[in-house]
Amino acid sequence: MRPASNPPTLPAGTGIPKLTAWDSTLAWRADPYRFLGRQAALLGSDVFEARLLLQPTLCLTGPQAARLFYDDSLFQRQGAAPPALVSTLFGQGGVQGLDHARHRHRKALFMAITAPERLQRLIELVRREWLASLHDWILSPPFSLYRALQPVLARAVCQWAGVPLADDDLPRRTAQLVALFEDAAAGPVAHLHARWARRQAEAWLTPLIAAARTGHTRLPTDTAAHAISTHRDLEGHLLPPRVAAVELLNVLRPTVAVSVYMTLLAHALHTHPVWKSRLAGAASGPDAMGFVQEVRRHYPFFPAVAARVRADFDWQGLHFEAGRRALFDLYGTNHDPRSWPGPDTFSPERWARQAASAAFVPHGGGDPHLQHRCPGEDLTARLMLLALDILLHVMRFDVPVQRLALNMRRLPALPRAGFVIERVRRIA
């Protein structure tokens, strides 16, 4: 436990410190990545209670709390995510809201889809699309790298997943996929846009699933679309077409969201130029992977994940009540000084002496096969290695004067202009 700087308020009978504010939603939204960790430090506890979104919420941070939070006998995901995120980011009926045998069965589908031998084809497609886009980038005035990478990833993942996508439909579908993760928690107007994008995206993919099942559309058997359209639940039933569309979006959306990490990778290379020369000889191997892992640890992505206490239990003298919503602090755990010396320093060298552990949770914790850790974590790292190779060995660009500081109130956090580049040149 952390040393307390102020005597905390304790909810009767639980031993869990509680924030004194009646509701902390506005404070949380003002600093979504650092709020949980900072409050935990002030209270001297890895577990505290706060009222968030008008609901009492347990907040957990740190490596020990990670092991606790991902114990499926103690916490469940059903009914945990705020409705605002279910209606935008996740969708109704998706794998994120399942538990126990149903979750493991559905998760096995995604683990098969993202098997290493299948991912190699996607990596090749992303590389091809990126290189094809370089011609337009070379002729372009200054532009946001973040925005430019999104159609590259969208076109590649749709082809890989077996989703037909015409050239003239690429901008619309890319915008819909981006809105699901970019606008879900970005304010009332943006949230409504994300809801609209969710409806449009599901309406796009639901007929594809239905047509594949009736034989009107033939999907390649080695694609995500085919695997999802033919998947059967534990009772032997096909997924409802709308739920199958939700799960197909759970393949497309996260892949396009890797544009965030690719942009942060470019940001790290620019702001830590010594690593450009250090990595120039090779964009693979321990140094390259250490750089990728440090970007994933150091930079913000998702601030927290939600669950609910499954049944009453006690842990380290604290009492957890059944049904209580809980948030686990991803960003704060990745910056916990007990696990990461100099946590706010960008230091890829640390990965030469430190392996990934329960404290490394950019995509959540636990076993990706059995628990709620993202099945696309390996894909993310491999796409970032691809981006590192291209940024170091295939293209050059200038970075004009701009505000490079990350907007930490934004979800996901990025430079305000999305990392603008200009004068792109191809060198290989």
State the binding site for heme. 374
User: Is-contact 210 241, C-beta < 8 A?
Assistant: yes
Listed in sequence order, the residues at least 6 apart from 233 whose beta carbon sits closer than 8 Å to its beta carbon are: 102, 105, 106, 239
User: Is-contact 409 144, C-beta < 8 A?
Assistant: no
Dihedral angle over CA of 359, 360, 362, 364, nearest 10? -60
Give the C-alpha separation, 25 to 217, whole Å: 47
Give the C-alpha separation, 43 to 54, whole Å: 21
User: Is-contact 24 38, C-beta < 8 A?
Assistant: no
User: Is-contact 154 258, C-beta < 8 A?
Assistant: no
Residue with tokens 């879900």: 184
Q: What are phi and psi of 233, to 5 degrees?
A: -80, -175
Residue with tokens 């449009």: 200
Sequential DSSP letters for 132-160: HHHHHHHH--SEEHHHHHHHHHHHHHHHH
Kind and range of the H or E element at 277? helix 274-279
The count of C-alpha atoms lying within 13 angstroms of the C-alpha of 326, restricted to the half-sphere facing its C-beta, is 29
Burial of residue 377 (CB within 10 Å: 0-12, 13-18, 19+) is: middle
The neighbouring-strand residues paired with 318 are 315
**Structure tokens, 98:** 């399942």
Instruction: Give the ranges where 312-425 is alpha helix by DSSP (H).
Output: 330-334, 377-393
The count of C-alpha atoms lying within 13 angstroms of the C-alpha of 70, restricted to the half-sphere facing its C-beta, is 24
Q: At what angle do helices 188-214 and 170-182 cross, to 10 degrees?
A: 120
